[in-house]
Amino acid sequence: MVHCTIAWYDSAMKHFVTFVLCIFMLSACASSAVSNEVVDEAAMSGGGTSPEVTVESFLSDLNKALKDPDLNRADVRDTWAEALANYFVPVERGAQRAAIRASLDNLAEGVSQLNADEEVSFEISFEPARRVREDQDTVYVEVPNAIISMVIERTSNRGNTTIWQQDESLGYLIGSNENIFPVMRVGVRWFLTEN
């Protein structure tokens, strides 16, 4: 039984990794839509007032989403998918929303497999974001020491015991040696982008 339980924890981390990767990786069809789509003013909400604020706010909201005790509910996952997608440039939001929602669904499915006496927690920690380079309307923002942690605890009559823990650098999860995010200015706002 322990072998199966540990295998599930490894599977849960894979769901989590998939969730994070899907957030940062845009499908090819969205990239082709960037040049053809007209953005209305209502779509210009979201993002942030600076590249650093955009990245830090996105990671903070992602952290809140992972901690939401109601993430098992479809409507809550819809709300978080919408909120997180709004950090991306308007022409990429549709694809990002779908990818985020699918990843949240996978994560919720994995977490639902925990035993009744087990609980999972996620934590994203990072140092203040800083610009590392600029290229026209795109700024590359580094988030030093960005770490995503997953902990599974079991509760018994003797208290809580950590039975599984894994920490990964954000850069490793997004397929980069660095924790760098491209952020693009559209009008007066800054948005995450895959381009």
Banded model confidence at residue 176, pLDDT cuts 50, 70, 90: low
Give Cα separations from 85 to 5, 59, 62, 125, 141 (angstroms): 33, 12, 10, 20, 18
Sequence-ordered strand ranges (E) for 62-158: 118-125, 130-135, 138-142, 147-156
| pLDDT classification of 87: cutoffs 50, 70, 90 | very high
Kindly indicate the confidence band of residue 10, based on its pLDDT and cuts at 50, 70 and 90.
low
The rounded distance, in Å, linking the Cα atoms of 93 and 81 is 10
Residue that wins the pLDDT comparison between 175 and 86: 86
Please give the pLDDT value at position 32.
34
Res. 23: pLDDT tops 70: no
Rounded CA separation 108/156 (Å): 24
Over the stretch 35-57, which tens digit does the pLDDT of each residue have? 334 445 545 578 999 999 999 99
pLDDT per position as a tens digit, 123-175? 999 999 999 999 988 999 999 999 989 999 999 898 899 988 989 888 776 66
Give the position of tokens 């098992």.
72
